[in-house]
Amino acid sequence: MDQRLKKITVCSWAMLTLLAIPSVKAQVPNYSQPAGCQSCGLLHPAEPCPGACQTPIRAVDCAANCGREGRWPELSPSDFQSYGQGEYAGPARLAHLRNYRLRPNDELQVVYVVSRRLSNGDYRLMIGDSVMISLIGDAELNQGTLERGLEIQPDGFIHADALKKPVFAAGLTVSQLREVLEERYLELYNEPAVSVKPVKTSTLADDIRNAVGGASGLQQQALQIRVAPDGTIRLPWIGAVNVQGLTLNDVKQEINARYSASGAGLVVEPILAQQADHFVYVMGRVGQAGQIQLQGPTTVSMAIAAAGGWEAEGNLRQVVVFRRADDWRLISTMLDLRGAYYGKRPTPSDEIWLRDGDVVIVPPTPITVFDDFVRQVFTEGVYAVVPFQGIAINLGQQQ
């Protein structure tokens, strides 16, 4: 009986020893594995594995979980190192972002350019424009020359020497002005033939460009302006324009429509020169509570880290975020970041992006709250005035 047990024991130890020794085949790397090889996890044809000499990076990808939060046992090979050392450490291509909408204290650069495009209708004369008036067959009554025309005065009239009264020309097309002049010259001729040639036009565009800062050069035609607290900007000739909540394309269409209606002959291109500062506020059990400026896309964990991290008594299971909706109503959410901070949740759904004006609160843990209650009641409250021991003795005597 003892011999049989001894033989079984020896055989068992031999089997365990053989199982413990790695096979020769396992020690030799396989350089011709099929697609989806175990060395790198990548799909490639039967050729030497590009990652055979490296340990593959395994990660949990939230995109592979159909919308649910991933777990550490779901680690799989991933292209985790898309960039080499020292290269740009960000997404190769950001997803499409929403159009930025202007807000107070944003700084705009409004560039003015004279339009060289055809207008939809006939050009209408304006104050400051000049024309040359010629009467066919009577050169002595010509008014103005091609070098210096007859200027439309600030009241909108032009003054022809042969006519008793001035002629209102502002807002008329060249054809309309010619018809008006022919009717007025009937006082002198039975069938007058009048010719009207524009000598100088688009004077309003020049006036606006001069008001902006110069008549030549792209930089001299740019106006640097800041969005006022009421959400408006003020531009030459057209006055206040409400831009708060509009995109740059919306602002461009609105400004150009107003200048087009005035006949200025200008095209305006607004450029966002500088955004107004964006802030979030971190309070509670953090290293340094206060205001955090958003320099780029920021998550809750990033904001807490910028505030000096959380303190030991901070309650990471109940981090609160307050936010104002588009209609300024208050909304809030409660996040559980403890699992992420302690490495238990690889793709936490609670790690959300913050927006301007959010308030992040890291509350104390329930134990800390209870300790504060005990301290306030027994140390700083009524029992600090009346000793607890004396009260206990009195209670005992009453019993």
Span 130-200 CATH architecture: 2-Layer Sandwich (3.30)
CA-to-CA distance for 250 and 257, rounded, in angstroms?
11
pLDDT band for 136, please (50, 70, 90 cuts): confident
The conformation of residue 377, written as its DSSP 8-state character, comes to I
Question: For the segment 245-289, what is each residue's pLDDT rounded down to a tens digit?
Answer: 899 999 999 998 888 777 666 788 899 999 899 999 999 999 999
Question: Across residues 198-207, what is the average pLDDT?
Answer: 70
Q: Are 153 and 143 in contact (CB under 8 A)?
A: no
Residue 143, pLDDT score:
72
**Cα–Cα distances in Å, from 124 out to 160, 170, 171, 261, 272?**
19, 7, 5, 11, 33
pLDDT over 80 at 383, yes or no: no
Instruction: Tell me: pLDDT of 74 over 90.
Output: no
pLDDT for res 218 = 42
| Average model confidence (pLDDT) across the chain | 74
The model carries a pTM of 0.55
Looking at the predicted structure, is the pLDDT value of residue 187 above 90? no
Say whether pLDDT at 219 is over 50: no
Task: Using the Cα atoms of residue 41, residue 43, residue 47 and residue 51 in order, give the sign of their dihedral.
Answer: negative
Instruction: Go through 76-94 and write b for each residue having 16 or more CB atoms within 10 A of its CB, e for each that does not.
Output: ebeeeeeeeeeeeeeeeee
Q: Is a pLDDT exceeding 70 seen at residue 220?
A: no
The reply to whether 130-200 shares the fold of 107-115+208-274 is yes
Please state which CATH class domain 279-364 belongs to.
Answer: alpha beta
**Residue 388, phi then psi, degrees to nearest 5:** -65, -35
Three-state DSSP class for residue 38: coil
Q: What is the dihedral of CA 21, 24, 30, 34, to 10 degrees?
A: -70
Per-residue pLDDT averaged across 351-363, rounded? 91
- The domain limits of the chain are 2-77, 107-115+208-274, 130-200, 279-364, 369-398
The answer for residues whose C-beta is within 8 angstroms of residue 188's C-beta and 6 or more apart is 141, 162
Write out the two tokens for 352.
């959300």
Task: Work out the pLDDT band at 24, boundaries 50, 70, 90.
Answer: very low
Confidence check: pLDDT of 392 > 60 = no
Q: Which amino acid is at 271?
A: I
Nearest residue to 151 (alpha-carbon basis) of 141, 160, 162: 160
Q: What architecture is the 107-115+208-274 domain classified under in CATH?
A: 2-Layer Sandwich (3.30)
pLDDT score at 22 = 46
Distance CA 351, CA 349 (A): 5
- Dihedral sign, Cα of residue 15, residue 18, residue 22, residue 23: negative
Tell me: pLDDT of 47 over 50.
yes
